[in-house]
A and B are shown apart, each in its own frame.
Chain A
Amino acid sequence: MVGGSSVNAKDDAVATLSFDQAIFTSIRSPMGEGYRIVAASKGVTPDEKREIVQCAPSHGSLSSTLNEATGMACFTLNGGRQCVFLSRTAGIEHTARGGFRVFTHVCLFDPPVFRRLSCDLFAIEDALRECFDDQQMKKPPMCLEQGRIALNETRAERGAAPSDRDLGHAARILAAVLAERRLLVVGARCARDVLSAVVGALPAYTRRRWSLSYGLKYSPGRRFDLMFTEATNIEQTRILRDHDVTAINWSDQPLQVDSPYEDWVSFVERGWKTGRTASASQICAGLTETCDPVVLACLARLSEDLEHVAEADRSLLREIERRHAGESVSIELHQRMLADLRKATERRRWQIDVEEQADAEAEEDAILGLA
C-alpha cells in the first residue's frame, strides 16, 4: 500500500456522504418553460444557482447528436464548492424545436467531501449515473432532498489506462495539464476513457482546482481548463485562440509541450503500458496538497523502487537505499512512502538472510550427505 488515502478509502468503504443537488432541464410547468433549474435541495444558494445556469448545457449542447448522448463537467464554484454536471438526453424537448432535451443532474460537494471522494469525478459519476431513472427524467421531481453517495470501492485502488493507440495523446495531454495549459481535445476516440486515465494520473490537488468536461460542445461561457468534444469549426478555433486555449485534434500528432513534469508523465505512461495503474492512482489520491515537479518525480521513483524491492538482491537494495538517502521530505505522503520503503528493504534483507542461510544449510547437508 502506497498512498494514505487508499487506506482511508478502505475505512470509508461503506460510508455515505451527503451533497446538495439540483436538476437543470427544460420542462413546461406553472412557473414557466424552457431550460432552468427545475428543482434544487435547500442548501443550493442563489449565487450557486446563478453560476450553474451560466454554464449548464441546454439543447444542442451535448457534442453527440445521438439519442443516448452523455456529458459531464466538473468545476469549482466561486463559493468554494465543487460542482459536477452529469448530463444526458431525455427524449425530445416539449416545444419540438429544441431537439433532444438535455437533462443535467447537478451535484455540489463541499471541499472536505470532495477530498474524501479523492476529488475523482469519474468515481462520482460511476456512483451517481443511475440516480434518476427514465421516468424521473421524463417528469423530474419538483423538490429535491440532499443526495447521498456511497462508494463501495474507490477508483484510487484500481486506476485507469487508455488503450494502446491513445497512449501517446493521453500522455501529452497529462503533461500539458500539469504545465497548466488549457486544452480543447477534439475527436478523441474514447474520450471518457482517456479523460478518466488523465484524471486518475493528476494529483488530487490539481483535480480539485482544474475544471473539465467531456461530451459537451465548446462554448466560451463554459470556460473549463480541459475539454473533450467531438467536433469544432473554424470560427471556434479562432475563438479558442482568443481565450488562450490550445486545440488538440486527435487525428494530428500528439501535442509537443515542454513540461517540468516529464519524469512523472513517463512513470504514468509506463504504468499505462504495463497495466499497473494502481500505483500512480494511489499516489494521486493522497496528494491533496500542492507539490512541485521535483516531489512528484521523487514519488514516482519511490513507487517504482518499492515495486522492485520485492525481487531485489543485496546490491540493488543498497542502490535503492542510496538513491533515496538524502531526499528532502516536504509532504506527509512522501514521508510515509519513504518509511514504507525502509520497512520493505529491511524485510527483503531479512528474506535474503533467511534464503542465504537456508541455502548454506542445504549446501552443508549436501556436503555431509556426500561424506
Chain B
Amino acid sequence: MAKNLINNPKRAACLICETPNPPDAVLCTECSAPMALVYEARAQEHEPQMVSILGDSNVGKTVYLGFLLDMLSQRANDFEAVPRGAYSVDLQQTVVSHMAYRMFPPKTPMELDEWKWTYYQVCKRGGGAKWIDLLMPDMAGEAIAAEVASPSTFRIIQNLLHKSSGLLLLVDAALAANGSSQPDFFALKMMSYIDTLFVCKRGAKIGMPIAVVLTKADYCPECFDDPARFAEANLNRLWNLCETRFSRVGFFAASVVGSLAYATAGGDDVVTPVPLHTALRGVLEPFEWLVDQV
C-alpha cells in the first residue's frame, strides 16, 4: 500500500505512518516526519530500508549517528555513502562542528519537528556492491523513554520500529561499568517493548537484527576486548532477554571522545563536560554488521 501511495503524485503518503498528505506538505500532518523523505523515495522508485537508533537520554545517540554518517561519507572501511538531500547532512555537520569547538551537540528536543532525519545511499565497494537506501532518524531519548513507558505516546516511534529493517540499541557502558542498574533496566524495557511490538509464537525468536552498542566504552576499556562478555556481566537482564527472545543480536563497544575535561563556573553547580579531542573507536563495526544482516 505504501508503495502505491509513494508513487501517487496527487497524495503523498508519509513513509512512516502512511497518512496521505497534500502534495507540497513539509511535514506529515499526522506524525511530523519530513515529507522530503517521501519525495526522495519517489525519485528512487523504491522504499528505503530503515535503521532506528534507540537509547536512553544522554546515552550518545546524536554523537554516535553524527560520527557514523561522517565516517561513511569519508569512505571509511571501503564504504561509500551519498546523502539524499541537504537535510541529511545537518546532523553530521552539527555533531562534527560542535565537537571541533570542544562542545557536545545540543540535546535532541522532544518535539518531533525538531528531530533530524538522514537519508543516505550506502554501499560497500568491492565485488557485487549493492546500494542500500538507509533512513535514520535521530530521536530524542526522552521521547523513546516515554513511548516505552506508555506505548502510543509517540506513535511515530512505534511506526518507525515496525518499518525498521534493523536496530541500533545504544547502552551507556560507562554507567553500567560503574554499577548503575539504570542502563540495564532501560535496555531491558526497550527490548521488552520491541518483543511486544513484534508478536511471534511462544518459543519463536524475533529475527530482526539488533546491534547493541556499548557507548562511552573509553571509560571501561575492557569492554572493547569482549563486548558480549561485558554485557553478560554488567547488563545481565538485557543479556538474558536477548538470549531468550531474539535470534540476531550483536554486541559492540564504541567510543567517540578521546579525553574529557569538566568545567564549572564559580558559584554554579552545573558541571559541563568538555570533549578535548575525538578518538573514534568501534563506530563503524555495529553498522557494518547490521548492513550485512539486513
* Residues of A participating in the B interface, judged by any CB pair closer than 8 Å: 26, 30, 32-36, 46, 49-50, 53-54, 58-61, 91-99, 217, 219-222, 235, 238-239, 242-243
Nearest chain-A residue to B150 (Cβ)? A50
* Least Cβ–Cβ distance between B76 and chain A, in angstroms: 26
A94 to B271, alpha carbons, bound, how many Å? Answer: 8
Q: Are A243 and B105 in contact (CB under 8 A)?
A: no
Nearest chain-B residue to A240 (Cβ)? B26
A280 to B22, alpha carbons, bound, how many Å? Answer: 41
Take A32-B57, A97-B104 as given contacts and tell me if A238 and B150 are in contact as well, using a CB distance cutoff of 8 Å.
Answer: no
* Least Cβ–Cβ distance between A281 and chain B, in angstroms: 34
Q: Are B142 and A58 in contact (CB under 8 A)?
A: yes
16 A-B residue pairs with CB within 8 Å = A26-B142, A32-B56, A34-B56, A34-B57, A35-B142, A50-B146, A50-B150, A91-B270, A95-B58, A96-B271, A96-B273, A97-B107, A220-B112, A238-B26, A239-B26, A239-B113
Q: Are B112 and A221 in contact (CB under 8 A)?
A: yes
Residue B29 interfacial (CB < 8 Å): yes
Nearest chain-A residue to B180 (Cβ)? A30
Q: Are A32 and B182 in contact (CB under 8 A)?
A: yes
* Least Cβ–Cβ distance between A91 and chain B, in angstroms: 7
Chain B interface residue bracket vs A: 35 or more
Q: Are B145 and A96 in contact (CB under 8 A)?
A: no
B1-40: contact bitstring with A at CB < 8 Å (1 yes, 0 no)?
0000000000000000000011001110100100000000
- Excluding A32-B182, A46-B150, A220-B29, 13 further A-B contacts by CB distance (< 8 Å) are A26-B142, A34-B145, A35-B110, A53-B150, A58-B110, A60-B109, A96-B272, A221-B32, A221-B111, A239-B27, A239-B113, A242-B22, A242-B27
Take A53-B153, A239-B26 as given contacts and tell me if A32 and B109 are in contact as well, using a CB distance cutoff of 8 Å.
Answer: no
Would you list which residues of chain B between 122 and 168 have a CB under 8 Å from chain A? 140-142, 145-146, 149-150, 152-154
Nearest chain-B residue to A244 (Cβ)? B29
A95 to B104, alpha carbons, bound, how many Å? Answer: 10
Q: Are A59 and B146 in contact (CB under 8 A)?
A: no
Q: Which of A34, A222, A239 contacts B58 (CB 8 A)?
A: A34
* Least Cβ–Cβ distance between A221 and chain B, in angstroms: 5
A46 to B142, alpha carbons, bound, how many Å? Answer: 17
User: Which chain B residues lie closer than 8 Å to A32 at the CB level?
Assistant: 56-57, 145, 182, 186
Would you list which residues of chain B between 31 and 83 have a CB under 8 Å from chain A? 32, 56-58
A36 to B153, alpha carbons, bound, how many Å? Answer: 12
6 smallest beta-carbon distances between A and B, as pairs: A34-B57, A96-B272, A34-B142, A219-B111, A58-B110, A98-B107
